[in-house]
Amino acid sequence: MKKGRTLQELAAELDRQNAAKKDYIVDADAIAMVTKDNEPRLVVESGNALTSYGALKSYGITGIAHRQIGSYLGIPASYYDRMKAKNPTLLTKNVNAWLTEASGSKRMLRTLDGNARALLSDRYRRIDNWEIASAVLPIIGGIEDARVESCELTDSRMYIKVVSPRTQAEVKVGDPVQAGVIVTNSEVGHGSVSVRPLIYRLVCSNGMVAASGAVRKYHIGRVNEANDDLSIFRDETIQASDKAFLMRLEDSVRAAVSQTSFEKIVGQMREATEAKIKADAVPQVIELASKEYGFTENEGKGILGHLIEGGDLSLYGLANAVTRHAQDVESYDRSTELEAAGYQIITMSPVLWRQMERL
């Protein structure tokens, strides 16, 4: 499991971002893209000026916001990226032409540190990282001996991964695992608030994110309304709804590390130890798994190396090779995706397993 930030570093950055970020509701046709120093930037035209920053304040555009702009305007990603890399002026012309066509619609513009970090629907429900962390961390502190094993704040998500060593079992002799929970959230439209069980393998500090028992809250709600300066206010109905959800988090976190949830997943892992992979079919199994779970060529090579090194030619061994390789990738987001893929392999469909058996 990748370590990411310390809990203290996460808390400090959440506090900083909470004070620095600004959200606005703007008319889509009042947004414009300009090019400065060969880099695209967003501005809001004077009729919809962000008055707290002054008229025509321009913003840098994050990669996430670029992708959302292209998706909203129906510009294919490959073409958008090509224009951005080779002809930013042409990108600007395309974007502005289609923004003009969007007259009458409104968007939520999320900004941080002088950058447009997301362009979302005006129905997007803001449940932010600071709120989630403020609700979850006291709950974790109340679970005896629980520890934050890893946490991170990326451009797209916040992650808090917790392990409860009091709930432990052996998948096989000498291979202990412990119960845990992963809490994630995205402020930029890359996923719901999510609470999922996490299994921590002590042998090599691997983490496996389980899909079963997940609790989610989607960022969709009533149309957001804005103050005179276009900044968004929260009405009492939205605040009450969010407060009720945050109160439910305690039950969700405790359920994720419960003995019942843990035993079910450990049972699945034990079954996977009995699903053997033929030695001469290992490369083909990696190739098939790569196609099914979206592993890149380099990831496939890394997983193959860990599978051979681990010496456990079973579905359980393959899952562990995937979660072990999760520690090697640079991106924390991708590392967590691989941890989830490990669980998907443990619980793979009978059809896919039969394909592997025939190799």
HEC secondary structure over 161-204: EEEEEEEEEEEECCEEEEEEEEEEECCCCCCCEEEEEEEEECCC
Task: List CB contacts of 264: < 8 A, sequence separation 6 or more.
Answer: 212
* Cα-to-chain-centroid distance, residue 248: 21
Specify which residues 226 forms β-bridges with. 232
220 pLDDT above the threshold of 90: no
Q: Is the pLDDT of residue 231 over 90?
A: no
| Average pLDDT along the chain | 86
Contact 196, 101 (CB under 8 A): no
- The pLDDT tens digits for 135-154 are 889 888 888 889 999 999 99
User: What pLDDT does 353 receive?
Assistant: 87
The mean per-residue pLDDT over the stretch 90-106 comes to 90
Tell me, what DSSP letter sits at residue 278? -
pLDDT band for position 233 (50/70/90)? very low
Given pLDDT bands bounded at 50, 70 and 90, which one contains residue 218? low
Answer whether residue 223 shows pLDDT above 60. no
Q: Provide DSSP, 258-275.
A: SHHHHHHHHHHHHHHHTS
- Summarize pLDDT for 191-206 with one digit per residue, the tens: 888 888 999 999 888 8
Tell me the pLDDT tens digit for each residue of 269-321: 999 999 999 999 999 999 999 999 999 999 999 999 999 999 999 999 999 99
Give Cβ neighbours of residue 205 (< 8 Å, ≥ 6 apart): 1, 327
Total-model pTM: 0.87
Contact by Cβ (8 Å): 214, 261: no
Helices (H) and strands (E) counted in the chain, each on its own, are 12, 12
Q: For 137, phi and psi rounded to 5 degrees?
A: -60, -40
Relative to beta strand 175-185, strand 206-209 is unpaired
Percentage of residues of the chain with pLDDT beyond 90: 61
